[in-house]
Amino acid sequence: MLVKIESNCEIGNHIHEGKAELHEVIYGEGVALVNDKSIIYKPGVISLIPADVPHSVKANNSGLVFLAKFTPPLN
């Protein structure tokens, strides 16, 4: 799934029950908060979010685009 977050916007805190999520940052910068730990997002960063772990992602002024992959796949 290609995810685009407009500048200074965010995807609020949530979980994916029973699904791990992999983010590959393509464009822009921002910060992911994964289980209360900050991860700086910029092009080339890859982040694995384990299943059932709370997380959020916020874009900075440039916006943010990343590829999100889920296992098992979303329905």
Q: What is the pLDDT of residues 34-53, one digit of tens each?
A: 998 999 999 999 999 999 99
In this prediction the pTM is 0.93
DSSP code of 55? E
Q: Which of 16, 13, 12 minimizes the C-alpha distance to 1?
A: 16
How much is the pLDDT for 8? 98
Domain at 2-71, CATH homologous superfamily: Jelly Rolls (2.60.120.10)
How much is the pLDDT for 54? 97
| Residue ranges of the chain with per-residue pLDDT less than 50 | none
Sign of torsion, CA 3 67 50 44?
negative
Q: CB–CB of 20/49 below 8 Å? A: yes
